[in-house]
Amino acid sequence: KAGVTQTPRYLIKTRGQQVTLSCSPISGHRSVSWYQQTPGQGLQFLFEYFSETQRNKGNFPGRFSGRQFSNSRSEMNVSTLELGDSALYLCASSAYGNYGYTFGSGTRLTVV
């Protein structure tokens, strides 16, 4: 069974640009969550989607957005990149959230 696939693995962007990250969940998993991980703040929740609907949202500015498609694949977008957006972005999927999430390998975003 394939795991959670995130693309790209690494990304370097310039301040002010925008970026789109992609996540393909485990087959059959309908819940997809996104997290930002930095050394100082740890894992911080961005948002969670289920059946194309955003069910939960974290405390991030509106520059961070996401969506989920009918096949459960999800994308997140960050516009007007700032240096502080440099982080590891992790996607996680679950058949049902209370049984825990499986994480993808992450996308390492560096903003210069």
Which spans of this chain sit near other proteins (rule: CB under 8 A)? 31, 33, 35, 41-45, 48, 50, 55-56, 58, 90, 92, 94, 97-106
Judged on CB neighbours under 10 Å (0-12, 13-18, 19+), 89 is buried
Tokens 């058949």 identify what position? Answer: 95
Task: Yes or no: say if 91 and 34 are a contact pair by the CB < 8 Å rule.
Answer: yes
CB of 25 to other proteins, least distance (A): 13
Return the number of the residue (14 or 84) whose C-beta is nearest other proteins. 84
Nearer Cβ to other proteins, position 81 or 91? 91
Quote the least distance from Cβ 16 to other proteins, whole Å: 28
Q: In angstroms, what is the minimal distance from the CB of 105 to other proteins?
A: 5
Q: Which phi and psi angles does 63 have, rounded to 5°?
A: -65, -20
Chain-centre distance for alpha carbon 69: 14
Which CB sits closer to other proteins, 79 or 97? Answer: 97
Give the nearer residue to other proteins in terms of CB position, either 86 or 103. Answer: 103
Among residues 20, 19, 16, the alpha carbon closest in space to that of 80 is found at: 16
